[in-house]
Amino acid sequence: MVDWIVTNPAGLNRQTLENAARTAAAATLAALLSRLLRLPEGWWAAVSAMVVMQSTLRASLSISILRLIGTAMGVALGALLAVYFGANMYVFGAGVFLLGLLTAALHLERAAFRFAGIALAIVMLVVRAQSPWTIAVHRFLEVSLGIVLGLLVTLVWPERASPAARN
């Protein structure tokens, strides 16, 4: 194993190191800012920043839009269902199914459906003392913060094309 690391395998190159550094910077900035803003579950900002970090701004923007839309749909439906039904597993399942239908009807990519389902589960199934609407707003703010910081890092520090891609 040590020999493998010492010989610098083909996958460990400048582009790999730079991508790791860019992603670490975005995640750390998101975590720090969420703490500064005293967001209750600010680690979601760091997670979101890592999710949206892609090789280009265009790719990052694409996944960011899907994450934002999906999260908005999931937290809204999750709060609505949690207020009226609590953490009912059958209602949760129906909510996930409904999100699948809504994202398909809106012609959104499946990634939006996955992000919506994750947000729905977090708002609906994780027991907390606050109201579901408060949880939903916090979740949306945390994810939005991570998305914005991920996009800013991608804009300020774009990934360079590999030498092979330039030829």
Helices (H), 87-131: 89-105, 110-125
For 43-83, what is each residue's pLDDT tens digit?
999 999 999 988 788 889 999 999 999 999 999 999 999 99
Please state, in angstroms and rounded to a whole number, the distance separating the CA atoms of residues 34 and 38: 6
Which pLDDT score, from 0 to 100, does residue 5 have?
53
Please state, in angstroms and rounded to a whole number, the distance separating the CA atoms of residues 84 and 106: 26
pTM of the model: 0.85
* Boundaries of every domain in the chain: 14-162
Please state, in angstroms and rounded to a whole number, the distance separating the CA atoms of residues 8 and 95: 48
